[in-house]
Structure 1
Amino acid sequence: MMQLQPGDQAPSFARPDHTGTEVSSDDHQGRPLVLFFYPKAFTPGCTTESCDFRDRHQGFAAAGYGVIGVSPDPVDKLVRFKEDHDLPFTLLSDVDHSMAEAYGAWGTKSNYGRQYQGIIRSTVVIDATGHIEHAWYNVKATGHAQRVARELAAG
């Protein structure tokens, strides 16, 4: 897994959102963007993290940052997740995990001694010029959105 570093060029992306509409990195040129990668909608940790980003969404927006959540979930599951938790930001479906791989958020995980490939909970901030501003990998679900907001002076 190749982790991105501040100053790196952000990989381009094009993925379907929760409505099935393709969203690309080109759509966000000139605007800073917070991308948070989470393993699976409706699981306790991912729900906590997504709701924490929801609760800080106004602060991110006021500081000029867009927010996008990315998971390997299919579009129909993301629709329900967004509606059930009143998430005000875009959710992208990365079923083939190619976006997560490009951003260094896919790799070997272990659970109760079993190793497997999956999403590494991560957040990458892209600046207005398309370069990496911050990158956090293998983060805890709880408290992470607050840390990102603090770093970006977004509340």
Structure 2
Amino acid sequence: MTWMRWAPAMERALYDPGQGFYRRPEGPAGHFRTSVHASPRFARAVARLLLEVDEALGRPEELALVDMGAGRGELLTGVLAELPAEVLARLRPYGVEVADRPAGLPSTALWTDRPPRGVTGLLFANEWLDNVPLDAGEVDEDGVLRYV
């Protein structure tokens, strides 16, 4: 992991080559469905949001769509299919993911393991927060905060 540090056991469980959950051939869609997998309506909604952001930004010369935790690129692929040619001509789509670039991803999409710097557009993190480990605590019956 380059831009994010996880506990070694978590990193192995999720991204170990050939064995990590996100590197297995069936991918996450083989185990569960998320909004990205459930319907093309989600990609359409994100495309509409991107068009609104584009308008609010004054239609910049280059517009970025950054998909954090891009998985197998399903969201990027779906959003690109919904955009008008005028926007596609200015769009720079990024898939930010630790796993390898998926087959079938449109060639215009850049695949990277770290967020791009200095871009203008929409950063979308629909799936990313699912995999961010964090410390958890709770207050016990005596009112003492304890690490869980």
TM-score relative to the length of structure 2: 0.32
Tell me which protein shows more strand as a share of its residues. 1
**Between structures 1 and 2, the one with greater helix share:** 2
TM-score, structure 1 normalization: 0.31
The answer to which structure, 1 or 2, has the higher relative contact order (CA under 8 A, 6+ apart) is: 1
